[in-house]
Structure 1
Amino acid sequence: MSGRVLIKELDLRNGHTSNTVADRMNAVPGFKTSAAFFSFLRANLVLLPASTLNSNASTPLLDPYSSQALPPLQPSSLATMTSNAEDEASLPPNSLDSIPTLTTAILTSEADKVAALKLVADSIAQQRQLASVAIIYHPVIIAAYIFLLAITSLFIYKTTSDILIMVTTCAGITMALLVVVQGWTSGYVQLAEEFNWKFMKNQDGEEDTIIGSRYGEQLIGALILRLERNGNGNGRKKSKGGKTGGRGIVRAWTTKQRYRGTGVGTELLEEAVRVTRERLGNSAEIGFAAEHANSKMLLPEMFNRGFREREARAARALEEVIGIMDAGSKKKR
């Protein structure tokens, strides 16, 4: 628009207007191209057929042309990379099928029973850690430790040059106290070594029932259940349904340390309640034995608070399982 206005003004100054392209181009100073050249070029373009105007690679085609046909689309190289192909081949059709299942049932083979006894023995040895923590963090022990370090520092520290000796002495006292604690709690390791097959046999030589939780092929939980029937010999009293009454006693209950808090222990208790009522009747009671595998406490009572709390939590867990199973059986009726 600005060029046309400029041309219009120039033509008006000369007293006439120009309508041709050649006139407009020649009206602007700096354009030296003649009108005859533009007329000749326009005539040649009109005479040439559209098929003879081959477009270069850098210009778009205005008409369809077979030689300029685009190649067919090929899949991206990223879609055929070797790593992607290997990943797709390695993935299972359903990734959930590769997750091992958790099964809880009565153990029958001798190998499984031995593995369950080893889990119980490990739980006994692990009580040493709880006992050590109970000693180290007891308020009385902490107060005595601080008092001992203070007395030692008072006698050793005289000048700033005694700082290194004081620190070394306090570190030695700390190490000596840790050795004492280690020796004090070593009895739990001995109890674990003494735990053997005799634990699961009663006075009549009858073996207890061992229930195990298996994650895939790995045994991760164990429970030892003793069934005590009412009466003895042929004089056993039978409850409704033809089953003898009695009670189930949980004598050991443990889970591998890395799987604790995942519900494996609860499933073991549920299976123990089910087995007890299946064999002794629905009226059978179930509870923890007073002398279970982890009942022995080698420390003075002032350090046994953690053990007592663990026993209380276990009793509450069993009560909750019994309550849930009773409520479920009532709904089924």
Structure 2
Amino acid sequence: MSVPGLKPSAAFFSFLRANLVQLPASNVSSSASTPLLYPSSSLSLPPLGPSSLATMTSAQDEPPFTPDPLDSIPALTTKPLTTGPDRAAALKLVADSIAQQRQLAAKAVIYHPITIAVYVLVLAIASQFLYKSTSDIPLIVTTCAGITMTLLVGVRAGTNEYINLAEAFNTSFLENDDGEQDIVIGSRYGEGIIGALILRIERNGHGSGKKKSKGSGKTGGTGLVRAWTVKQRYRGAGVGTELLEEAVRLTREKLGNSAEIGFAAEHANSKMVLPEMFNRGFRKREVMAAMALEAVIVNTAGGNKKKR
């Protein structure tokens, strides 16, 4: 039995097969998607060129130079200051510390319990006296604001003496009765002076400015810290401790290990312009400074020596 349409197809495939047999194998092209089922010598890989990695220079192998960020941080040095500009900068720091005492004094007055009690009492009396009806509330608010402003102006006027003390501070503070200059120690960070300490050397058995007798060697004595301050933004970073360490070293270098060192009774920040009841904060700071110096003395050579 024959299926119509199959005979022409069989004749077509027979004709196609006869033609393919007659063609040489090299003339039969294959599409790129048809795999080669037999080895062919006509196909060859292109020669390998030089690798891009082989042509890279040694400079290309190394990462670009990046400077160490720590190299840009200036060193902190603490030593005696000898030039005029440096000593002037140190004195300015001390003067600034005197002026800054005004802020501490103002806070001591405003937040003192007596001040708060008096302030509340005055507000209560004024309110009681002025209040008659609800229409008096704006007047009471205005009056209370005026009382508050009066208090602040009074505090400002009462602490203004610290500004006068800062403006009067000058190089004469460095001279003793014999005309000898105190030692000015400074902490330098970069190009600026960020800490200052003024040290006075007093020798035993001699005037402050008199020379010791020949052959007496180091006679002993006392080193007096007459000023000690650090810029506000650098406080708490150990700069003040370095200043005290340098003061102790210089005192023992000049007077021997038996020398005492302490804060002078009349140091640059010792002046109190308010009644004693408002000076608690200042006294606390003096105690903390004395403790800091005591710690430095204990931690350095000869730390068992007495402190004045």
Calculate the TM-score normalised by the size of structure 1.
0.72
Measured in 2, the distance between the counterparts of 1:50 and 1:204 equals 119
Structure 1 residue 195 and structure 2 residue 173: aligned? Answer: no
| C-alpha displacement of 1:158 | 2.2
Structure 1 residue 279 and structure 2 residue 254: aligned? Answer: yes
Deviation readout 1:62-101 (Å, 9 max, x if unpaired): xx9979x9xx99xxxxxxxxxxxxxx98x85211100111
Aligned pair in 2 of structure 1 residues 51, 254: CA closer, same or farther (>3 Å)?
farther
| C-alpha displacement of 1:247 | 1.1
Deviation readout 1:166-211 (Å, 9 max, x if unpaired): 1111111101110000000000000111111111100000000000
Measured in 2, the distance between the counterparts of 1:300 and 1:65 equals 105
Measured in 1, the distance between the counterparts of 2:292 and 2:29 equals 91
Aligned pair in 2 of structure 1 residues 237, 286: CA closer, same or farther (>3 Å)?
farther
Which structure ranks higher in relative contact order (CA pairs < 8 Å, sequence separation ≥ 6)? Answer: 2
The match for 2:184 is: 210
When you count helix as a share of all residues, which structure comes out higher? 1
Measured in 1, the distance between the counterparts of 2:275 and 2:173 equals 25
Are 2:252 and 2:258, in contact at CA under 8 Å, matched by a contact in 1?
yes
Of the three residues 214, 221, 224, the one matched with 1:249 is 224
Q: Secondary structure at the match of 1:294?
A: coil
The match for 1:107 is: 81
Of the three residues 262, 270, 273, the one matched with 1:295 is 270
Of the three residues 111, 128, 137, the one matched with 2:111 is 137
RMSD of aligned residue pairs (Cα, Å) = 3.6
Q: Secondary structure at the match of 2:270?
A: coil
Aligned pair in 2 of structure 1 residues 92, 206: CA closer, same or farther (>3 Å)?
farther
Letter matched to residue 149 of structure 1: L
| C-alpha displacement of 1:234 | 6.5
Measured in 1, the distance between the counterparts of 2:108 and 2:158 equals 12
Measured in 2, the distance between the counterparts of 1:227 and 1:118 equals 22
Aligned pair in 2 of structure 1 residues 172, 277: CA closer, same or farther (>3 Å)?
same
Measured in 2, the distance between the counterparts of 1:146 and 1:262 equals 41
Q: Secondary structure at the match of 2:236?
A: coil
Q: Secondary structure at the match of 1:146?
A: helix
Q: Secondary structure at the match of 2:94?
A: helix
Q: Would you say how many aligned residue pairs link Structure 1 and Structure 2?
A: 271
The match for 2:39 is: none
Are 2:257 and 2:302, in contact at CA under 8 Å, matched by a contact in 1?
no
Aligned pair in 2 of structure 1 residues 275, 151: CA closer, same or farther (>3 Å)?
same
Calculate percent identity across the aligned residue pairs. Answer: 64
| C-alpha displacement of 1:231 | 1.9
| C-alpha displacement of 1:310 | 0.3
Measured in 1, the distance between the counterparts of 2:174 and 2:71 equals 37
The match for 1:5 is: none
| C-alpha displacement of 1:257 | 1.2
The match for 2:147 is: 173
The match for 1:4 is: none
Measured in 1, the distance between the counterparts of 2:160 and 2:234 equals 25
Measured in 2, the distance between the counterparts of 1:101 and 1:173 equals 51
Deviation readout 1:273-324 (Å, 9 max, x if unpaired): 0111111111111000000000010100100000000000000000000001
Aligned pair in 2 of structure 1 residues 142, 202: CA closer, same or farther (>3 Å)?
same
Stretches of structure 1 lacking an aligned partner (at least 5 in a row): 1-34, 57-63, 74-87
The match for 1:163 is: 137
Letter matched to residue 30 of structure 2: T
Calculate the TM-score normalised by the size of structure 2.
0.78
Measured in 1, the distance between the counterparts of 2:156 and 2:268 equals 22
